[in-house]
Amino acid sequence: MSRANSATWLRQQRWAWPTWPARGLARSLPWLLPLALFTTWAVGAQQGWVSPQVLPAPAYVYDTLKDLAISGDLWANTSASLQRVLLGYALGTSLGLVLGGLMGLSRAAEAYLLPSFNALVQIPVLGWLPFALLLFGIGEPLKYALIAHAALVPVTLGTLQAFRQAPVKWLEVGRAYGFSRRQLVTGVVLPAALPTLFTALRLGFTKAWLSLVVVELVASSEGLGYLIVYGRQLFQLDLVMAAVVVVGAIGYLIDRGFDALERRLGAWRPV
Amino acid sequence: MKAYRGWLLPLVALGAWWLASEYGWSRSGLWVSPQQVLATAIHEVASGHLWVALGASLARDLSGFAIGAGLGLALGCVLGLSALGNRLLGPSFNTFKQVSLFAWIPLISVWFGLGDVAKVVFLSLAALVPVVVNTADGLRNVPLPLLEVARVYGYSRWQSLTLVRLPAALPSIFTGLYLGLIYSWLATIGAEYLLVSGEGIGNTLIDGSEHFRMDLVLFGMLVIGTVGWLLNSLARLAERRLQRLYGTF
């Protein structure tokens, strides 16, 4: 059976939508749901179906966002958050790379360390929070520690995995050329590990960003998470929503950035 | 002997901890001894506090998981089986997925209050996401040769769905459920932390932290870790059973 035939058949199996709608409709479909939600929100707020304390109008949220940007509050809080996440991420990632690299290169280190590591990983960031709160107090070290912890876990496990996945054939070629252990690591294992390593670093950053929000929600006096808490305490949902939009937008931008970087780096990739 | 190497580090740490508290190396009131944590553990278990808190947390966790996983399976099937559904809902869902789950907490707390309803809503959101992603992926990525065989046998759409696509997608669907179970447990702790009211193991932790009782905090962390590990092992066990039942593709 020809490949094209199968593909056609496959499409038929998928409750394909009729072919009559024009291309334009197809392209506009993904926007239908967001548009419907937004319209309901806007109309509902305008008609007063729900009280503005529960759901502020979109225009109001936009105004709040603009005010925040103009008054400089937005930049102050965003930079506080970014500073925290970058420092915590740098800490957690460097420790994770060392730990993961150690376990990845030495089976003995893995046997000694991995079970304890796995046991500690079972406790989520929020489980550590009360412990860290008593240990570090409510200041900045608490945030760095928790964000570092959040990044540490995926980076360590990813590094460990990355170092283990060099194809056996490559290692055999290396050995056949009489590579020393050090040469094997720098010449074979490390290049083979790079793509997975990058994925781990990216996942680590996603986790760090998520836990930044959590940590700031629980304990902070500035930052984007603090804006959210503050808005909620004053029942200013416009402020909450504006802050959530900023958090989402930054998370999205960072994700795109990593994506672009990965594609750039992907140009060089071991076959 | 080699098999026990993993125990070395925890034992050394425990020994150092015991020695340090025995000889009073730290004057801080926060430094509790292992015996003290053990005594707290025994007290919590014997007085029934633990069971009340754990029961409340698990009940929330499981009801949130059930709702989220049920909705997630339905949505995942829509995304995975229907091109129209995927086109209509896929991009919105992917955007929703990007927003940090915890950012929803303030809105949920205003809309649903601080009680169990709000917590269960949050938990079901946490369980929903991985279930949808993995269900849709599994249904979409059924190996082509399998579908070709179904075609050769002249299967109807319904037959190829129930006899080929669903069984082939099962491992992936199960991965989603398994992740959903873990996520919802993590979210349970988060919900109890951020939507403070009522009983729960997270509240035990907060109490310990507010009263500067490190022994209670350490005990709570131990319980949370153990429950997470148990849920993990149970899900893996069920996965293996199921795979034996349906065979693996």
pLDDT at B249: 47
A76-90, B65-79, B97-111 — which is least confidently predicted?
Answer: B97-111
Domains in chain B, CATH or no CATH each: 32-246 (1.10.3720.10)
A78-98: average pLDDT: 93
Residue A257 to chain B, least CA–CA distance (Å): 14
B224 contact residues in A (CB cutoff 8 A): 122-124, 127
Mean pLDDT of A250-255: 84
- What CATH number is associated with residue A113? 1.10.3720.10
Q: pLDDT averaged over chain B?
A: 84
> What pLDDT shows up at residue A268?
56
Residue A31 inside a domain? The answer is no
Structure tokens at A71: 């008054």
Percent of chain B scoring above 90 in pLDDT: 10
* Residue A98: per-residue pLDDT: 94
Gap from A219 CA to chain B (nearest CA, Å): 11
What's the number of domains chain A is made of?
1
Tell me if A161 is assigned to some domain: yes
Q: Does residue B14 register a pLDDT over 50? A: yes
Residue A256 lies in a domain: yes
Q: Which residue on chain A is closest to B83 by alpha carbon?
A: A16
pLDDT of residue B128: 92
Identify whether A27 is part of a domain: no
Residues of A in contact with B9 (CB under 8 A): 112-113, 115-116
If contacts are CB pairs under 8 Å, which of residues 199-218 in chain A contact chain B? 209-210, 213-214, 217-218
Give the CA distances from residue A196 to residues A154, A155, A161, B171, in Å, rounded to whole numbers and listed in that order: 11, 10, 8, 23
> Please, what sign has the CA dihedral across residues A91, A93, A96, A102?
negative
Per residue in A3-27, pLDDT (tens digit) is 556 556 555 555 555 555 566 677 7
Q: Give the pLDDT confidence score for residue A1 in this predicted structure.
A: 43
Residue A271's pLDDT band, with cuts at 50, 70 and 90, is very low
Cross-chain residue pair B144–A115, CB shorter than 8 Å: no
Note whether A133 and A75 are within 8 A (CB): no
* Chain A residue nearest residue B209, CA to CA: A130
With cut-offs at 50, 70 and 90, classify the pLDDT of residue A91: very high
Q: What is the DSSP string of A140-167?
A: HHHHHHHHHHHHHHHHHHHHHHHHH-S-
pLDDT tier at A257 (50, 70, 90 boundaries)? Answer: confident
Residues of the domain holding A82? 60-266
This prediction has a pTM of 0.78
Cβ–Cβ under 8 Å, residues A2 and B144: no
